[in-house]
Amino acid sequence: MLAYLNGEYLDRARAAVSVEDRGFLFGDGVYEVTRAHDGRLFEAERHLRRLERGLAALQIARPRELESGSLIEISERLLRDDGLTSGDATVYLQITRGVAPRTHHFPPAGTSPTVYLSASSLAVPDDTRARGAAVILTTDLRWERCDLKTINLLPNIVGKQQAVAAGAFEAVFVRGDVVTEGASTNVFAVLDGELRTHPATHRILPGITRDVVLEIARESERELGVPVREVSLTSVELRRASEVFLTSTTNDVMPVTCIDGAVVGNGTPGPIARRLHAALVARMTGTAAAAR
Ligand code: PDD
């Protein structure tokens, strides 16, 4: 398997960054995970827009790969050369503020950002989807800029490990009494005949899958029979929802059938989640199914 690192394609096992990389020392960087199906990237432009917004917000220099528009070409070459041109895969992209002697403040102007990409095959979790996933609720310990996709993921990692230790699929964060998002997913619920999800504020990552699912849900509001509202839920509301589901690049639409050991709705994946999943997959694979 290959890695692209700062202009070179390398054997991934041999690719290495300096111990003075600010990603290593401080978690000073941003990342993206983009889905590919049959070697084609899904919603690459939206991922690039989110990446550019993160770089600008954190004042990380734009790498030359971004200026030359070559990040998509690099991603496609990795998919090709790693033999990932059929089925599902992901491309991981990370940009850090670069290599410099350790100081908390920014390194000297002109320090080149570190650019790393690699591709991996993706085992889509269809078995879990068929049964529905279990989640736990846990306190959202994160900072005030959850809208930035930074490589600082300690609260997410600790939350996910709590979920794994409890035999659950995902940890859903609750701040005060507001459900924000999952450790690596966005959260939707059908409550009192409405489809709801936390608005895209600084409290959540504006997920690309969330965006696409919201678009599909709005386009097919009449067929689905549920109006869409970007209004957060409390943990009590989440527990009494008729349907709950998660969205992410690696999970698509994942129905939730159990929260902290209690059954959601009738305990099986709900119809809204199933239709939205079918419509999302249709978009990704270029087939014609709609959210009906
Ligand atoms: N995680 N919220 C958080 C905190 C995330 O880390 C992610 C994605 C999402 C969903 O975003 P998207 O639909 O753009 O994948 C929401 C990625 C997949 C990861 O860290 O592996």
The answer to whether 267 and 241 have CB atoms below 8 angstroms apart is no
Compute φ and ψ for 193, nearest 5 degrees: 75, 15
Q: Is the pTM of this model over 0.85?
A: yes
DSSP H helices, the chain, are 22-26, 44-57, 64-67, 71-81, 126-131, 154-165, 208-219, 221-224, 235-240, 271-285
**DSSP code for 233:** E
Q: From atom 9 of ligand 1, which residue's Cα is the shortest distance away?
A: 185
Q: Using a CB cutoff of 8 Å and minimum separation of 24, what contacts does 70-75 make?
A: 71/117, 72/41, 72/44, 72/48, 74/4, 74/117, 75/34, 75/36, 75/41, 75/44, 75/117, 75/119
Distance 207 CA to ligand 1 centre (A): 6
Q: From atom 1 of ligand 1, which residue's Cα is the shortest distance away?
A: 184
The answer to whether 113 and 7 have CB atoms below 8 angstroms apart is no
Q: Of 31, 32, 33, which is best to mutate to test ligand 1, by the most ligand atoms within 8 angstroms of its C-beta? A: 33
pLDDT in tens, 192-237: 999 999 999 999 999 999 999 999 999 999 999 999 999 999 999 9
Q: Say what the alpha-carbon torsion angle 6, 11, 13, 18 is, to the nearest 10 degrees.
A: -20
Residue 292 has pLDDT above 70, yes or no: no
Q: From atom 11 of ligand 1, which residue's Cα is the shortest distance away?
A: 207
Counting atoms of ligand 1 from 1, which one is nearest the CA of 149? 6
pLDDT in tens, 13-56: 999 999 999 999 999 999 999 999 999 999 999 999 999 999 99
The active-site residue, picked from 149, 198, 275, 277, is: 149
Three-class secondary structure of residue 92 per DSSP: strand
Q: From atom 18 of ligand 1, which residue's Cα is the shortest distance away?
A: 249
Residues near ligand 1 with C-beta < 6 Å?
Answer: 33, 156, 181, 184-186, 205, 207-210, 247-250
Check residue 289 and give its pLDDT: 55
Residue 161 has pLDDT above 80, yes or no: yes
Q: Of 179, 181, 186, 276, which is best to mutate to test ligand 1, by the most ligand atoms within 8 angstroms of its C-beta? A: 186
Tokens linked to 65: 């790969």
pLDDT in tens, 236-274: 999 999 999 999 999 999 999 999 999 999 999 999 999
Distance 193 CA to ligand 1 centre (A): 27
Q: Is 149 a catalytic residue?
A: yes
pLDDT in tens, 44-98: 999 999 999 999 999 999 999 998 889 999 999 999 999 999 999 999 999 999 9
